[in-house]
Amino acid sequence: MKKLLLFAPALLAACAPAYTGPKPGPNEIIVEATSPSPMPNTLGDEQSAGVTGFVVISVLLLKNQADELGLPAGYSNFSFPNGAESMQRLSAQDRPMHVKVDWQASRPPTQNTVNVQWESRPIGGKLLSVTIKASSTDTAVNTRTVEDRLIAKFVTQNGIRLLASGR
């Protein structure tokens, strides 16, 4: 019985659907996104994946402290630098939600900024392509660390499962 319990996770992983598409590009991950909401899903899988991806990363960026995301002391939390214009919907209203969002954290005394561009694009069914790119005017900021921490936090959220990574 103990042996069966030890092999159960491996068996479940083997039964999970595998991603068989092209290898993700640099700074891109492929995830399966399902709504963790208990409400009935009236959207199709692809539309639900797009909405879930956008909502999850928005909440993560707005609720996590700057130091949790790899920023040096003194930086503000991420916010939308241009208000509503910081989010561009790249798909038509009646299509699954393909968005590009810009966030920014700043360090007031130095006027240095860290910018994150996040793009999530449904690629069929529950699959979502997510691309993240961080840049900074501050050489003390390791943008790779910021990207890695955002990805790590994103893929551990309910409803998000990492399938492939170009990192």
The answer to whether the beta carbons of residues 60 and 146 sit under 8 Å apart is: no
Using pLDDT thresholds of 50, 70 and 90, give the confidence band for residue 110.
very high
- Degrees, nearest 5: CA angle 124-61-162: 35
Using pLDDT thresholds of 50, 70 and 90, give the confidence band for residue 12.
very low
Mean pLDDT over 109-129 rounds to 92
**11-15, 48-52, 55-59, 161-165: which has the minimum mean pLDDT?**
11-15
Which distant-in-sequence residues (6+ apart) come within 8 Å of 149 by Cβ? 68, 69, 70
Q: Rounded to two decimals, what is the model's pTM?
A: 0.81
**Which stretches of the chain are DSSP H helices?**
2-15, 45-63, 143-155
Cα gap 52→46, rounded to integer Å = 10
pLDDT at 51 over 70: yes
- Closest to 50 measured CA to CA, from 89, 102, 103, 104: 89
pLDDT at 14 over 80: no
Count of C-beta atoms within a 10 Å radius of residue 72:
15
Mean pLDDT over 42-52 rounds to 79
Cα gap 127→135, rounded to integer Å = 27
Cα gap 24→11, rounded to integer Å = 26
Cα gap 102→82, rounded to integer Å = 8
Using pLDDT thresholds of 50, 70 and 90, give the confidence band for residue 4.
very low
Residue 2, both tokens: 């103990």
The predicted-structure confidence for 74-87, as pLDDT tens digits, reads as follows 999 988 899 888 88
- Amino acid at residue number 119: E
